[in-house]
């Protein structure tokens, strides 16, 4: 009887243990013979280990329930770590691991950190292959490891559907139905598609498709095509309906672990009454040495300074106006050098630039007189009631200093201070101005800028939030460093994304969205023309949007 009970107890104990199996390969898919696979406890002590056979396979038996890390190592490779492996009793787990060299790991890391106002743990519809890229970090015992994403695989398809509306900006009026899709069939290819259909009085369409390919070690190519059809945007008499086609491409080259170069080009064909063709090349090089890096960039269009900007929504829309009846596109020449250094959770960046801006775009609104409408110096969006005009060309130098630091595990704060050239407008005398004369009074002045931004995520609620405030002299109508995409929105702005969880009623992936820019309508410069119509210019109009999205 005792023997029977002992055997039964042993059978129950065996049923509660788990076996772990898998295959260890290199980045080309070749199985690695003799790789050491270790099962680590939370304190990184070794619980069990195995060695791969001639097919790269390993097996570890008799694992007790708990949370472990799985570490694979081999000669000439960086160790690979699979984190947070939850083991339940009586199960079988398969974990496949990929070993990378130091060169390969650095090649996959993003060339430039995400900006301070971007959620660090959210996919943002840029072709970064971020779900598949490794993350380098140091373990407590010192070695540098590549942290893998689960078993090395990532969702092949991501999609998001959004319905939003509210008091929108120029060219963004009405209720919008957005559809976004990203497909990454493997670590070397990715495709993206985005469509935005506005349900304003006259529906408009904005669509984009893109593709990225890893051509070879240290070399990748990206191409983007965008089409816009906005019938509600009008110029002077006989110039209604904006159509644009944009073709963009860029290539990134890595030379070893420390140097990366990239270059690209944009070609635009825009029609609004007449046709405008434009070409905008850009290039950049970055050198990293330990915790410090140096970068040089040259660009000819606002916001388009690196390959990662090719599919950013804010850079795709043409910054367009009319000047004396002809289309005028904001462009120019911008050169900058930047130095940044990271120490612990703090990053300090200093950037100096020199730029020439042709046809700088200023935004405004109000009641347009017949004379202003026929003067050929504005574009008007009847859905939002906003206008755009081109100011006087200007150029100059500028410098910016930025400090970014992690406050806690999920909250970041950044602070920027800069001085550069911006178009400004003095107080207008009532009844003495026309639109053309008001534009003629704008002059470039050296303008200070101060901004701060805080963003993070609330763990249990899953709330993503970002709040920022960017101040400039209220007389200024264009941002300091007009070519940059890094600065927060003007004045007080915030974004909130709140997941909605109602079991059995609403599926996972539903979020409520709130996007507010220039909440208190600061920086407005009003004037009254001779016929009594009131217009205003502003660095940024107040915009308030809300909606819902579903990611799957």
- Is 273 in a helix, a strand, or coil? coil
Taking residues 116-136, report their average pLDDT.
46
pLDDT band at 12 (very low <50, low <70, confident <90, very high): very low
Q: Among positive and negative, which fits the CA dihedral 424, 426, 427, 428?
A: negative
pLDDT, residue 485, reads 73
**Domains 2-147 and 157-551 equal at CATH topology level:** no
- The percentage of the chain sitting over the pLDDT mark of 90, rounded to a whole number, equals 30
Are 243 and 271 in contact by the 8 Å Cβ rule? The answer is: yes
pLDDT tens-digit readout, 388-425: 999 889 999 999 999 998 887 678 899 999 999 999 98
pLDDT band at 89 (very low <50, low <70, confident <90, very high): confident
Expressed in angstroms, the distance from the first to the final Cα of the chain is 57
pLDDT tens-digit readout, 307-343: 888 888 778 888 899 888 889 999 999 999 999 998 8
Alpha-carbon distance of 70 to 206, in angstroms, equals 46
- CA separation, residue 37 to residues 29, 33, 47, 50, 241 (Å): 17, 11, 11, 5, 63
Are 364 and 537 in contact by the 8 Å Cβ rule? The answer is: yes
Tell me the CATH number for domain 157-551: 2.40.160
Choose the weakest-confidence range: 39-53, 144-158, 443-457: 144-158
Angle in degrees, CA 443, 445, 448, rounded to 5: 145
Flag whether the pTM goes above 0.85. no
What dihedral do alpha carbons 353, 354, 359, 365 form, nearest 10°?
Answer: 40
- CA separation, residue 465 to residues 127, 491, 543 (Å): 23, 17, 17
Beta strand 18-26 pairing with 463-472: unpaired
pLDDT, residue 131, reads 41
Residue ranges of domains in the chain: 2-147, 157-551
| 374 CB neighbour count, 10 Å cutoff | 11
pLDDT tens-digit readout, 274-292: 899 999 999 999 998 878 8
DSSP H or E stretch at residue 99? strand 97-99
| 408 CB neighbour count, 10 Å cutoff | 8
pLDDT tens-digit readout, 444-479: 999 999 999 998 877 667 788 899 999 998 889 999
What dihedral do alpha carbons 87, 89, 91, 95 form, nearest 10°?
Answer: 20
Pick the CATH number of 2-147 from 3.10.100.10, 2.70.98.40, 2.60.40.10, 3.30.420.40: 2.60.40.10
pLDDT, residue 4, reads 39
Alpha-carbon distance of 206 to 223, in angstroms, equals 17
pLDDT tens-digit readout, 346-363: 889 999 999 999 999 999
Are 477 and 422 in contact by the 8 Å Cβ rule? The answer is: yes
pLDDT, residue 395, reads 93
pLDDT, residue 301, reads 92
């Amino acid at each position: 009887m005792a023997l029977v009970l002992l055997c039964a107890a042993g059978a129950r104990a065996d049923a509660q243990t788990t076996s772990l199996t898998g295959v260890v390969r290199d980045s080309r898919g070749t199985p690695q013979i003799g790789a050491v696979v270790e099962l680590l406890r939370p304190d990184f002590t070794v619980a069990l280990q195995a060695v791969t056979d001639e097919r790269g396979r390993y097996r570890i038996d008799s694992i007790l329930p708990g949370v472990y890390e799985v570490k694979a190592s081999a000669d000439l490779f960086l160790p690979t770590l699979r984190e947070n492996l939850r083991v339940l009793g009586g199960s079988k787990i398969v974990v496949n691991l990929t070993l990378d060299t130091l060169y390969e790991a650095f090649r996959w890391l993003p060339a430039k950190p995400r900006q301070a106002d971007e959620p660090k743990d959210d996919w943002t519809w840029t072709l970064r292959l971020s779900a598949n890229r490794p993350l380098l970090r140091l373990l407590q015992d010192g070695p540098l490891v590549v942290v893998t994403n689960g078993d090395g695989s990532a969702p092949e398809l991501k999609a998001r559907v959004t319905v939003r509306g509210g008091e929108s900006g120029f060219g963004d009026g009405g209720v919008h139905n957005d559809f976004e899709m990203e497909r990454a069939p493997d670590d070397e290819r990715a495709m993206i598609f985005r469509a935005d259909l506005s349900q304003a009085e006259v529906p408009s369409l904005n669509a984009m498709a893109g593709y990225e390919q890893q051509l070879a070690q240290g070399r990748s190519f990206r191409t983007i095509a965008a089409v816009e059809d906005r019938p509600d945007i009008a110029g002077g008499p006989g110039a209604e309906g904006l159509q644009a086609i944009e073709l963009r491409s860029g290539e990134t080259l890595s030379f070893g672990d420390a140097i990366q170069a990239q270059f690209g080009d944009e070609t635009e064909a825009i029609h609004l009454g007449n046709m405008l063709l434009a070409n905008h090349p850009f290039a950049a090089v970055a050198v990293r040495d330990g915790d410090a890096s140096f970068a040089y960039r040259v660009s000819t269009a606002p916001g388009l300074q690196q390959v990662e900007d090719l599919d950013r929504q804010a850079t795709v829309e043409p910054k367009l106006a009319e000047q004396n009846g002809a289309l005028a596109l904001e462009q120019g020449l911008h050169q900058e050098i930047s130095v940044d250094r990271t120490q612990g959770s703090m990053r300090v960046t200093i950037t100096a630039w020199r730029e020439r801006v042709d046809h700088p775009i200023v935004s405004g609104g109000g009641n347009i007189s017949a004379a202003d409408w026929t003067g050929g110096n504005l574009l008007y969006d009847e859905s939002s009631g906003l206008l755009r005009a081109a100011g006087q060309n200007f150029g100059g130098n500028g410098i910016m200093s930025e400090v970014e630091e992690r406050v806690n595990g999920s909250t970041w704060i950044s602070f920027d201070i800069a001085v550069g050239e911006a178009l400004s407008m003095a107080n207008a005398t009532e009844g003495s101005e026309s639109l053309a004369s008001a534009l003629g009074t704008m002059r470039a002045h050296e303008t200070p800028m101060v901004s701060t931004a805080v963003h993070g995520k609330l763990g249990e609620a899953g709330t993503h939030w970002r709040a920022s405030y960017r101040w400039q002299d209220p007389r200024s109508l264009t941002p300091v460093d007009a070519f940059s995409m890094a600065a927060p929105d003007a004045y007080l702005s915030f974004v909130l994304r709140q997941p909605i969880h109602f079991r059995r009623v609403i599926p996972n992936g539903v979020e409520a969205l709130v996007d507010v820019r220039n909440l208190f309508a600061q920086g407005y410069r009003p004037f009254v023309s001779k016929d009594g119509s009131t217009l205003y210019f502003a660095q940024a109009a107040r915009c308030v949007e809300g909606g819902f999205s579903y990611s799957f």
